[in-house]
Amino acid sequence: MSSLVVGTCPGVPVCADVHTYLFVDGLDLVTRSYGGALGLHPRRLLRPGGPLYPSDTPRVVKVADHGHADADPGGLTITVRLQGETVVWSELMYPDLELGVVEEVRFHLAQYLGEIERVHGAWR
């Protein structure tokens, strides 16, 4: 099982914009997947019942926008689904530390929801 740690950047003066960091097993998912992209606003991703909350029906979730004008306007998307007590993110393609490719990660439901709710509560 993987672990999820969510961080936020408050925007100016620290960064150009308010955005969310998604660390999977200590690796920044957004930066490793899509150089120059920024995670979406915390209110958009982390709200109760929002896009990162899993359901039995898989759904495609946009987690980041491009950081420059010539990038893919679609941004970075993942597929999120609930499988029993496991949250599954699939349709990933980012390098791991051993130069392999991560295509899917799994999280314990309690850890996953706890982390999203922790950051959402701190952000409000």
Q: What is the pLDDT of residues 6-48, one digit of tens each?
A: 999 888 887 878 899 999 999 999 989 988 888 999 989 999 9
- Residue 81 pLDDT greater than 50, yes or no: yes
3-state DSSP call for residue 30? helix
pLDDT value at residue 73: 60
Residue 58, pLDDT score: 96
The yes-or-no verdict on residue 124 having pLDDT over 80 is: no
pLDDT at position 11 is 80
Instruction: Give the three-class secondary structure for 110.
Output: helix
Through-space distance between the first and last CA atoms of the chain, rounded to whole angstroms = 29
pLDDT of residue 69: 47
Cα–Cα distances (Å) from 66 to 3, 5, 11, 19, 77, in that order, read 25, 22, 16, 12, 11
Structure tokens at 1: 């099982």
Handedness of CA 27, 34, 83, 100 (dihedral sign): negative
Helix (H, G, I), strand (E, B) or coil at 12: coil
The pLDDT of residue 61 is: 95
Q: What percent of the chain has pLDDT over 70?
A: 93
